[in-house]
A and B are shown apart, each in its own frame.
Chain A
Amino acid sequence: MSPLLEFRDVTLRFGGVVAVNKVSFSVEEGEVFALVGPNGAGKSTVFNLISRFYEPAEGEIIFAGEDLLRHPPHDIARLGIARTFQNIELFEQATVLQNLLVGRHRHRKTRAWSEVLFTPAAREEERRHREAVEKVIDFLDLQAYREKYIAGLPYGVRKVVEMGRALAIEPRLLLLDEPASGLSVEETQDVAFWVEDIKKQMGVTVLMVEHDMHLVSAVSDRVLALADGKTLALGTPHEVQNHPKVIEAYIGVADESEKVLA
């Protein structure tokens, strides 16, 4: 069976910086695949390439047999790829409910004029969107926040809302950029359970960037380690954690930070 997502020798430069350097990997349907690596390794850039925010200099990105590079950014959700952002990118002046409903945009069938007139068909569609979103709200336990504006919500809740918005898309592939960063131990535990459920119950493939190695080990099937835009190692969480190059990369970073401190 061909993989769900495939990177083939993808390269992206920002001026002199090679953010992603001939990276190849493939994510199989149904697995949880983690991207790890020190800051600036190019992990978020990989996500932004999938979202089509950046144009790679070289290489191919294939999703479910489709050439992703032939699609504009707004096609990506429709193809079945949802994502969260490292620094949370919600619609601030809208409620939690409205944010999740934007996730349903991919499933919009009504046309603008029928929405302006709010025809019975538009109402029927709207009911379906609400029903789908309520399921996500129940799954992530967001009932207490559904009518709240994002602008007033604490960080931890925003992270969950962003995950909910991505789930509302009903994706085949879910990209999570550091889902547990800045969260408490309990909140991170919740994320671990959710990722398990997303994989097992919803059958969604997950590609995740995460620094918390406990979380990575607990939920991922395979791990890809990146540093300076290059692939270091690929394998099970255990294999990658003990890979000499990975240890070196992290110690190298530690050395540098010691130098800065010294």
Chain B
Amino acid sequence: MRTVFKTSYDADIDYFRHGMHAFWYLALLLIMIVLPFLMSPFAIGEVTNVLIWSIAGMGIMLLVGQTGQASLGHAAFLAVGCYANVLLQNAGLPFILSFPLAGVIAGLAGVALAIPTTRLHGIYLAIATLAVSILADDLIVVAEPLTGGINGLLAPTIEIFGLPFDRYGTPGRFYWLVLLVTVLVVLAYRNIQRSPLGRSFAAVRDSEISAQAMGVNIARTKAVAFGLSTAITGLAGALMGHFAGIFNNETFTIIISIQLLLMIVIGGLGSIHGAFFGAIIVALLPQTISTLRDGLGDILGTTIRVPGMESAAFGAILILFILFEPMGIYGRWIKIRTYFQLFPFYRKDMFRRQKSYLKTERMR
């Protein structure tokens, strides 16, 4: 087991707790940077997709995992980011402006949603946000002159200082762009976690009553959480549009909203790692299933076609997680790590939760 001796407050504040910790993450970043030289363009496309989903995952994680607010509407903010970015680009704005602006617009949309909904809790908030997702789908169809309706829109090629960034034309470059955004979002997320803002999010998540007694303005904090969450999700949406090349209302249906939520539950609520683990599952699942299906088909000598196979597999994985691993993949990872760190002193009940009081009994 490693004991970290703190020599100053900065040791607590810094991104990394000790040198080895920093080493591993920098090594990972280095590998990610050189990946386009090691992989086929197809594989790089898959990794790009995972990263885009991770960004979206961090967006919704900030709201659900960090602040404890349910959302079944985040596909709507993917859509806001995606359409805003492309429309701004089509209006002649360069990507380096349209992209952050798309994030800002999605963030403002999130704040606008938060203002009437911050009084709602749990299932009611989930239903309200679900309605937003359905509404967004319809709005895209109705606003055809702007959005192209069901025919959709084409994402123009990204150009930054004259250099094209295209998923098919220059997959490596597009990947680096996405990687850069991913790293920036991770850094922003870490900054939020290590500052009063992130702690006020956690306070609202764990006890609104005592958050208030500590001076946290609940409505304001929720609105900021919504805004930051949907802004990040909007950035992911903008990248998703460029990754897909063409998109319409069906790119951002309620199914995507549900998938986003499930993704972070599977990955592990409340951590950046959870967003990445969840994204790996969601982005690679269709690929894995079709590979398995083809393999199985080859063995059996037929082609297997089962409609809804992906959703079914996804649902099954989710149910297994909720039953056996409520802390998600990241939770399992921490348990394994703790097991080795404490060997042979690991206790089985180490992560068991303590009984807590009924909400209604708490204040008396």
Give every chain B residue within 8 A of A112 (Cβ-Cβ): 197, 224, 228
Q: In the complex, which of the residues B202, B215, B224 has the most CB atoms of chain A within 10 Å of its own CB atom?
A: B215
A103 B363 Cβ-Cβ under 8 A? no
Judge whether B194 is part of the interface by a CB distance below 8 angstroms: yes
A110 B195 Cβ-Cβ under 8 A? yes
Judge whether A172 is part of the interface by a CB distance below 8 angstroms: no
Option from B12, B194, B209, B361 in Cβ contact (under 8 Å) with A118: B194
Which of B49-57, B295-303, B351-359 lies at the interface?
A: B351-359
Give every chain A residue within 8 A of B113 (Cβ-Cβ): none
Give every chain A residue within 8 A of B255 (Cβ-Cβ): none
Give every chain B residue within 8 A of A231 (Cβ-Cβ): none
B197 A116 Cβ-Cβ under 8 A? yes
Known A-B contacts A89-B207, A94-B202, A127-B10; A115 and B362 likewise in contact (beta carbons under 8 Å) = no
Option from A78, A91, A108, A134 in Cβ contact (under 8 Å) with B202: A91
Judge whether A152 is part of the interface by a CB distance below 8 angstroms: yes
Q: How far, in angstroms, from A77 to B198 measured CA to CA in the complex?
A: 19
Judge whether A83 is part of the interface by a CB distance below 8 angstroms: yes
A115 B192 Cβ-Cβ under 8 A? yes
B364 A74 Cβ-Cβ under 8 A? no
Give every chain B residue within 8 A of A11 (Cβ-Cβ): none
Option from A44, A101, A151 in Cβ contact (under 8 Å) with B353: A151
Judge whether A17 is part of the interface by a CB distance below 8 angstroms: no
| Whole-angstrom distance between the Cβ of A254 and the nearest chain B Cβ | 22
Give every chain A residue within 8 A of B213 (Cβ-Cβ): 51, 73, 76-77, 82-83, 89
Give every chain A residue within 8 A of B212 (Cβ-Cβ): 51, 53, 73-74
A105 B209 Cβ-Cβ under 8 A? no
Give every chain A residue within 8 A of B10 (Cβ-Cβ): 123, 127
Judge whether A90 is part of the interface by a CB distance below 8 angstroms: yes
A92 B206 Cβ-Cβ under 8 A? yes
* Chain B interfacial residues counted at CB < 8 A: 42
Q: How far, in angstroms, from A165 to B216 measured CA to CA in the complex?
A: 14
| Whole-angstrom distance between the Cβ of A228 and the nearest chain B Cβ | 15
A105 B199 Cβ-Cβ under 8 A? yes
Size bracket of the A interface: 35 or more
Give every chain B residue within 8 A of A102 (Cβ-Cβ): 199-200, 202-203, 211, 214, 216
Judge whether B270 is part of the interface by a CB distance below 8 angstroms: yes
Known A-B contacts A87-B357, A115-B196, A116-B197; A165 and B13 likewise in contact (beta carbons under 8 Å) = no
| Whole-angstrom distance between the Cβ of B196 and the nearest chain A Cβ | 5
Judge whether A93 is part of the interface by a CB distance below 8 angstroms: yes
B210 A89 Cβ-Cβ under 8 A? yes
Judge whether B157 is part of the interface by a CB distance below 8 angstroms: no
Give every chain A residue within 8 A of B195 (Cβ-Cβ): 110, 115-116, 118, 122, 126
B197 A106 Cβ-Cβ under 8 A? no
Judge whether B118 is part of the interface by a CB distance below 8 angstroms: no
> Restricting to A27-71, which residues have a CB under 8 Å from any CB of B?
44-45, 48, 51, 53
Known A-B contacts A91-B202, A118-B195, A152-B354; A105 and B214 likewise in contact (beta carbons under 8 Å) = yes
Residue interface mask B2-14, A partner, CB < 8 A = 1: 0000000110110
Shortest Cβ-Cβ A-B pairs, 3 listed: A77-B215, A115-B195, A91-B206
Chain B residues with a Cβ under 8 A of chain A: 9-10, 12-13, 188, 191-192, 194-200, 202-203, 205-207, 209-218, 224, 228, 270, 350-351, 353-354, 356-357, 361-364
Sample of 17 A–B contacts (CB below 8 Å): A74-B217, A87-B361, A87-B363, A87-B364, A89-B207, A89-B213, A93-B270, A94-B203, A102-B216, A105-B215, A112-B197, A112-B224, A115-B196, A115-B198, A152-B351, A152-B354, A169-B215
